[in-house]
Amino acid sequence: MRERIVAGNWKMNTTPQEGVKLACAVAEAIASTNWQTRASASSAESRRQTPSSADNVTVVICPPATHLAIIGEAVKSSSVELGAQNVHWADKGAYTSELSSAMLEAVGCKWVIIGHSERRSMFGETDETVNMRLRHIVKTDIRPIVCIGETLDKRQSEQTFAVLEQQLKVGLDGVELVGREGVVIAYEPVWAIGTGLNATPEQAQEAHRFIRGLLSKMYGKDIADNNVIQYGGSMNEKNANELMACQDVDGGLIGGASLRVDKFLPIIKAAYSQ
Ligand code: 13P
């Protein structure tokens, strides 16, 4: 069965102190359940092994960059894995304000979000720069979560599939490592992000099935069948179950609801319940 990955994208929220408190609260809340986690099984080798159902959920938190080191330390012996919200494609150099994969690895990051729609709409991210980041990160031990999704405009003019195809084809161009040990795709319809208006399970499933079909054409059915495709966009404690019950939805990328333990935990529970 496919992995399910629930990742919290904290965006530009919390101070470092608040972040440590939140991260520890998430880790403690999970530890106090009887759910099993894949805590020590995040190597590519262990991901290739056939998992059982209960140990097949990974929980990731992606705090702001200023918090990564301190939160990495705080959660290092827990089942919660650490992720960053962006990474540069160069190893090092004169790139003011950017972060390299080596810096992220040094503070314990196992994940990184690439190509979030907020980066695309506000900070000039393009499918080409997504591809550059991705080509770099697949050579490291950090696993990417690549965000794709259409705007309301594009959905209303029936261009959703065309947008997804373009983002996926250009974004993944030349990237070999997909499937169980590689690139996670997050389908995040832009109109659903932070609006409280999530995609319906039917809309999500339709897009996810389309994405899996494209991956199948690009990489073959076996790889596509094993590739995690998360849903993101106003996922919350009320809709997580029905969204994750969709055949091709393998977890979630959560914004607002990941900032509160009482909202994030039921979403994690939904991933365990599938
Ligand atoms: P919300 O869950 O706040 O809609 O944000 C989703 C998102 O952008 C996650 O990356």
Out of 116, 118, 150, 208, the active site residue is 116
Q: How far is the CA of 123 from the centre of ligand 1 (A)?
A: 17
The yes-or-no answer on residue 45 being catalytic is: no
Convert the pLDDT of each residue in 132-157 to its tens digit: 999 999 999 999 999 999 999 999 99
Q: Which residue has the higher pLDDT, 199 or 46?
A: 199
Whole-number Å distance between alpha carbons of 236 and 127: 28
- 255 CB near ligand 1 (under 6 Å): yes
CB 239 within 8 A of CB 231: no
Convert the pLDDT of each residue in 79-119 to its tens digit: 999 999 999 999 999 999 999 999 999 999 999 999 999 99
Query: Does 198 have pLDDT greater than 90?
Result: yes
Query: Does 38 have pLDDT greater than 70?
Result: no
Average pLDDT over residues 46-54: 47
| Ligand 1 closest atom vs CA 232 | 6
- 243 CB near ligand 1 (under 6 Å): no
Return the residue whose CA atom lies nearest to atom 5 of ligand 1.
Answer: 255
174: containing domain: 4-273
Q: What is the CATH number of the domain that holds 186?
A: 3.20.20.70
Q: List the end-to-end C-alpha distance of the chain, in Å, as a whole number.
A: 11
| Average per-residue pLDDT for the chain | 93
Closest CA to 204 of 223, 187, 182, 179: 187
- 155 CB near ligand 1 (under 6 Å): no
Count of domains observed in the chain: 1
Q: For a pLDDT cut of 90, what percent of the chain falls above it?
A: 88
Q: What is the pTM of this model?
A: 0.93
Q: What is the 3-state secondary structure (H, E, C) of the chain?
A: CCCEEEEEECCCCCCHHHHHHHHHHHHHHHHCCCCCCCCCCCCHHHHHCCCCCHHHEEEEEECCHHHHHHHHHHCCCCCEEEEECCCCCCCCCCCCCCCCHHHHHHCCEEEEEECCHHHHHHHCCCHHHHHHHHHHHCCCCCEEEEEECCCHHHHHCCCHHHHHHHHHHHHCCCCCCCCCCCCEEEECCHHHCCCCCCCCHHHHHHHHHHHHHHHHHHHCHHHHHHCCEEEECCCCCCCHHHHHCCCCCCEEEECHHHHCHHHHHHHHHHHHHC
Average pLDDT over residues 30-34: 91
- 116 CB near ligand 1 (under 6 Å): yes
Amino acid letter, residue 219: Y
Out of 81, 118, 150, 188, the active site residue is 188
The yes-or-no answer on residue 116 being catalytic is: yes
